[in-house]
A and B are shown apart, each in its own frame.
Chain A
Amino acid sequence: MGWIKRVIALTAKDIRVELRTRYAINSLVLFAVVTLVAVGMTIGLQINTPSLHAGFIWIAILFSSLQAQSLSFVKEEEAKTGDLLRLYTDPGVVYIGKLLFSFVLSAFLAVVLIVLYIFLMDLSVPDMGQFIVMILLGTIALASATTIIAAIVSRTAMKGALFAVLSFPLLLPILIVAISGTESILTGVKWTVLFDDIRILIAYPAIVVTLSYMLFEYVWNE
């Protein structure tokens, strides 16, 4: 049975379980809302330039994403189902399966955040298409770069705090490009200006994912 079918089986399982328990979705939405409301209520009106908006959006996305990401692997270990996956399939399948699931979660997060942000922070977006693409790409890039770190952290003692600390070097390039790109978009630019940023947002995670795929078995099989 094809490798792809196995990966899909894994991702489908994660999606199905997630829809039934809403474990990650809930915490995602909660974090996004809390962050937006807390800041909005206090200094919300002072965030009125493209650069401030860009920074703030991505901080909100980052926190929510980190929160939800780590849950996926931690849940497997806590429910004692991690070993089940280890016994029945090889690490590569698990990695790609979890990666695809993180894409789905990220897309969901992107949508939620875009809607909430525009509504709560009264954001006017010159080109909605660009905005959506940038947020979507960035969120997916963030998630894919950190999947393997989530796996590492799920089997250590400290989990939460450690995840943010460890994923930092991998995330930073993405975050920088995403913030700068979003700022440009909110200022109003042509698509051609964004091509460099988009290229990085695709190429860099691709490199990290490829490397992670090769290294994953050393993390998963321990």
Chain B
Amino acid sequence: MTKILKFGLLIYFGAVIVFAFIKPPPLTGQTWSDGSRIFYFHVPQAFVAFVAFATSMIYSILYLKRRNPLDDRKAALSVELGLVFCILATLTGAIFARIAWGSYWNWDPRETSILILLLIYAAYFALRQSVTDERRRASFSAVYLILAFVAVPVFGLVLPRVYESLHPSDTIVSGGSIDLRGYVAAIFFSSMACFLAIYYWLFNLGGRVISLEYKRLEELDAG
């Protein structure tokens, strides 16, 4: 990304943060209303984590088709980035939970699903570490990612269903209805855009480093 864009992003993001705290919180009428500001950050983080995960799955499919080691590296890169956003989302979620309901963790379906996502990413790296052969590592990683991704939407659908049959929803993570009024929408979507831009930038950067590394290795090999 060019310098201008980077700088622009910095300013834009700064503005988002500032406005997130200046303007009234998205949710009002609760003692923890102020805490709901986290919504501006928590949801985009979770969303980007998911996007990163989906991207890595796409690169995995590409790898199995084209057998280009760069695809495998990029998938791993995306998982790495996704992990970061996932950790952030878990942390911000926990902070909110503490403010709103008194404890950091509640085994609420949404909370649990972000934790599961975290564990899937971590397992991915554990797998990569335990395979020494490059091609095998890439194949196994790709297969695992594709399988895991299929399991994820099931969490989104199975968990809520089961929990509803047991406990009619009394814990609502999103804290009731958040009215996407003018400024709320503006800040929220701006934040979303910023996080996505950050992810894209880092991914792009990482991708270029990977390509360069590979070129270097090929040269060393041939020489």
Contacts and interface: CB of A to CB of B under 8 A. Distances in A.
A218 B116 contact: no
B150 interface: yes
A166 B144 contact: yes
Interface in B151-168: 151-152, 154-155, 158-159, 161-162, 165-166
Interface in A168-182: 168-170, 172-173, 176-177, 180
A207 B142 contact: no
Contact of A173 (B64, B147, B154, B165): B154
A180 B139 contact: no
Contact of B147 (A156, A200, A208): A208
Given A157-B130, A157-B131, A169-B120, A219 B148 contact: no
A200 B159 CA distance: 11
A207 B140 contact: no
Contacts of B126: 158, 162, 165-166
Contacts of B186: none
Range, interface on chain A: 20 to 34
Nearest to B143: A215
Interface residues of B, number: 33
A204 B154 contact: yes
A172 B143 contact: no
B158 A211 contact: no
A169 B159 CA distance: 13
Contacts of B165: 180, 196
B139 A168 contact: no
Given A166-B144, A211-B150, A219 B139 contact: yes
Contacts of B130: 156-158, 162
Contact of A170 (B127, B132, B148, B161): B148
Interface of A: 148-149, 152, 155-158, 162, 165-166, 168-170, 172-173, 176-177, 180, 196, 200, 204, 207-208, 211-212, 215, 218-219, 222
28 contacts: A148-B147, A152-B140, A155-B131, A155-B140, A156-B131, A157-B130, A157-B131, A158-B126, A162-B127, A162-B130, A168-B123, A169-B123, A169-B151, A172-B151, A173-B151, A173-B154, A176-B158, A196-B161, A200-B158, A211-B146, A211-B147, A211-B150, A212-B147, A215-B64, A215-B143, A215-B146, A219-B139, A219-B140
Closest 5 A/B residue pairs (Cβ): A156-B130, A158-B130, A222-B136, A169-B151, A157-B130
Interface of B: 64, 116, 119-120, 122-123, 126-127, 130-133, 135-136, 139-140, 142-144, 146-148, 150-152, 154-155, 158-159, 161-162, 165-166
